[in-house]
Amino acid sequence: MPARASLHQPEAQGGLVGGMAAARTDRVLLMSALNVTPDSFSDGGHYFDPAIAIARAHQMIAEGADILDIGGESTRPGSAEISAEEELARLRPVLKAVLPAIAVPMSIDTYKAATADAALQAGATIVNDVWGFTRDPDIARAAADHGAACVVGHWEPDLVDEPDARILPRMLDFFRRQVDMSLAAGIGASRITLDPGIGFGKTPAQNLVILHRLAEICALGFPVLVGASRKRFIGEITGRAPLDRLAGTLSAHMMAVANGAAAIRAHDVAAHHDALRVMRAVQTQTMPEQAKG
């Protein structure tokens, strides 16, 4: 594997995206999750109307999002797959309105090459594939052709049958294979971020193992993005419904940061922005400039 890539050391072409972090400091990045879908598990239908989604995109950026991640197909268990054409029909009005007006990078949350290609042509700079380029291998080539940054998510069949002690070795093998495939497709090593796929085909116990042992994934040498926002395992621990899982989400995400995560994907941007600022202030024993009296 290559030496550790960094979200914060962009290569000449723009690093992990002219996107994930050109000219950023070494702080943890905050990716906001915007679902332009009628059926996502936690906010399905809330932002399906393009006008409402556009307003929410601008609100997330105002609240402190470093990256705007937008998706047009739900990945919740039991959700129906849709075509790339339908996915793009949901996304195009938002992409057209938001991309010219924002200064932060936009990520496209999709596993389809056609959707990724269209979004990248429109101006997105990151491809976030929860299936880690296994559902549509052409997506890696589309990302490479555009010089995009990539988030390689972990999601495999039959994970729930894997003994908890084996989940990390299996994930590490998966990431090694998919990184090799990404490099072969022409994606630069410094443009690759790994996502352990919290909640994607995994049991609650497996999610806890992954968060506890996150440093083993970080040791592969790539930045790691964690998205535990409002996930079912938090509900099973706390007994709370998806929209009431903010406290549990913050706890899971701050543990992920403590264990090496370089970026967090969340629905509740303002709360995460504050939590990350406080955590960094404690870690560095330094008050943020604007907070100094």
Give me the pLDDT at residue 104, please.
93
Say if CB 211 and CB 237 are below 8 A apart: no
- pLDDT tens for the 293 residues of the chain, in order: 433 333 333 332 333 433 444 334 478 999 999 988 765 445 555 655 778 888 889 999 999 999 999 998 877 666 678 899 999 998 998 899 899 989 899 999 999 999 999 999 999 999 999 999 999 989 999 999 999 999 999 999 899 999 998 999 999 999 999 999 999 999 999 999 999 999 999 999 999 999 999 999 999 999 999 999 999 999 999 999 999 999 999 999 999 999 999 999 999 999 999 999 999 999 999 998 776 54
Q: Where do the domains of the chain lie?
A: 29-284
Residue with token string 């979004």: 119
Say if CB 244 and CB 268 are below 8 A apart: no
231 catalytically annotated: yes
27 catalytically annotated: no
- Structure tokens of 215? 């440093």
**12: which residues sit within 8 A by CB, 6+ positions away?**
none
Residue 194: strand pairing partners: 152, 224
Q: What distance in Å separates the CA atoms of residue 162 and residue 170, rounded to the nearest whole number?
A: 9
289 exposure class (CB count in 10 Å sphere: 0-12, 13-18, 19+): exposed
| Candidates 231, 240, 277, 280; catalytic one | 231
Under CATH, which number does the domain 29-284 receive?
3.20.20.20
**203: which residues sit within 8 A by CB, 6+ positions away?**
159, 160, 164
